Amino acid sequence: MSRLFGTDGVRGMANADLTPELALSLAAAAARVLAEHDTTHRPVAVVGRDPRASGEMLEAAVTAGLTAAGADVLRLGVLPTPAVAFLVAELGADLGVMISASHNPMPDNGIKFFAKGGLKLSDELENEIEARLDRTEGRPTGAGVGRVSDVPEAASRYIDHLLLSTPHDLHGLRIVVDCANGAASTTAPQAYRRAGAEVIAIHADPNGLNINDGVGSTHLDVLQAAVLEHGADLGIAHDGDADRCLAVDNTGAEIDGDQIMAVLALALKDAGELKEDTLVATVMSNLGLHLAMKEYGVRLLTTAVGDRYVVEELRAGGYSLGGEQSGHVILPSHATTGDGLLTALRLMARVAATGKPLGELAGVMRRLPQVLINVRVADKTAVAAAETVSRAVAEVTAELGETGRVLLRPSGTEQLVRVMVEAPSHDEANGAATRLAEVVSAVG
């Protein structure tokens, strides 16, 4: 049977793949596993969700599963994923559960777990939870059944934390924030206003059905138009659970996660807070980020794709900044996971502190044209071992030299090989990627 947990929890179409019965079983198994790892006290779990309609149903199921396993539940209501991670630590809980499918369309939903301290679960813990799903185990009765209470001050505690982590106030900035009709629809505008900015909030009216519906970080065109319409200094785009952000400068130009990391890395370096002058990113980050960081004396370490691998590298080396091109940015001194609101506040604080437009700050990095071709194959393992493929990659790499980059990556879930090429021009990148794709296709 395939593994239930993916790279970011358990996801699927709500009430079809991700049913209330599965949610209840997952929550109960998680409570039992974590309770066995620490038998000194009765476990406490915090539960949050994004505003999609199925979240109400799944929240009830998760709460039932946790309390049936003897855990007390603190319900947080609708909050961003990073708020749930923060409140696990802040409230001294043993477990956090976020019900969200992030940027996925409304019919989907997901369940993500956080361990004590607000860290994502290890693969080993996830495997333990999966192994316990089908077991029939004794349940507590009487006083052993878990209790449920609400945390009405959850949002304000999270916003207070964000403001304490922001190094400069935002007075004088006019910003537009696209909340994706998601989990940050209330907290993001509040946080940015309390930091001093003039805030125009769009897509901040969730009704359970409109989350990510042509809005947010995966649809920047509306934000770009709004920034120009309102004469704003910049725009911020969140996804449905606000664990990421992308930005738009005052001209409407997109500022992606790589550029955001470049701006924040130099801000931390200037403040003497960039540990070992090191930034951590994934192999998918643009070569332009590598070149820019080299120019400014910042070492760039790369990991496999996935923010969990970035976090592992950050923790292993004690580094202070990492992230992904998609806008997941982690600042370990202030958060245990990607936090779109924290990222946005730090980015805007840099604009306010320097007095420079965001576009100028992001201009330290030039994005090289990047072409990605997905090649469907019969056996991705055979492609990886093929001498013709490795020879073709070596030839293209030699042709590009330091001005380009080649990356072949098998899909983790499908019989696909992803061929990515960066080069000084789009035509060069497209030509090289097409050549490589043809070689891969011939083998596969």
List alpha helices for 106-146, DSSP H: 123-132
What distance in Å separates the CA atoms of residue 400 and residue 403, rounded to the nearest whole number?
6
Residues listed for the chain: 444
Catalytic residue among 25, 54, 100, 102: 102
What distance in Å separates the CA atoms of residue 394 and residue 231, rounded to the nearest whole number?
48
Stretch (H or E) spanning 156: helix 154-164
**428 CB-side CA count, 13 A:** 15
What distance in Å separates the CA atoms of residue 280 and residue 289, rounded to the nearest whole number?
11
What distance in Å separates the CA atoms of residue 94 and residue 46, rounded to the nearest whole number?
8
Q: Is 2 a catalytic residue?
A: no
Residue 318 buriedness (CB in 10 A; 0-12 / 13-18 / 19+): exposed
State phi, psi for 195 to the nearest 5 degrees.
Answer: -80, -10
User: What does the buried/exposed string (b/e) look like for 110-128 if buried means 16 or more CB atoms within 10 Å of the residue's CB?
Assistant: bbbbbbbebbbbeeebbeb
What distance in Å separates the CA atoms of residue 104 and residue 102, rounded to the nearest whole number?
6
Give the CA angle between residues 369, 374, 380 to the nearest 5°: 130
With contact defined as beta carbons under 8 Å apart, do 410 and 417 qualify? yes
Give the CA angle between residues 314, 317, 318 to the nearest 5°: 70
Catalytic residue IDs: 102
